[in-house]
Amino acid sequence: MPGVASTYSLTAVMGKAATAYVTPAPFGPFYFIVLGLMLILM
């Protein structure tokens, strides 16, 4: 449960910050790549 909460908190903050600088089209694949890497590292 703490792993899910920490993943959500990090991805929510990173997603909001990234969408301020990047258009949605390139952000989509980048988000899933980062999420996949985070899950592998956990």
pLDDT for the residue 20: 82
The answer to whether the CB of 41 falls within 8 A of the CB of 6 is no
Instruction: Report how far residue 33's alpha carbon sits from residue 30's, in angstroms, rounded to the nearest whole number.
Output: 5
Burial class of residue 16, CB neighbours in 10 A (0-12, 13-18, 19+): exposed
Report the alpha-carbon distance of residue 26 to residue 13 in Å, rounded.
17
Write down the pLDDT at residue 6: 81
Q: What is the pTM of this model?
A: 0.47
User: pLDDT digits over 1-42, tens only?
Assistant: 787 888 788 778 877 887 788 777 887 788 788 878 878 877
Q: Where are the domains of the chain?
A: 2-41
pLDDT at 5: 84
| Rounded Cα gap, residues 37 and 20, in angstroms | 22
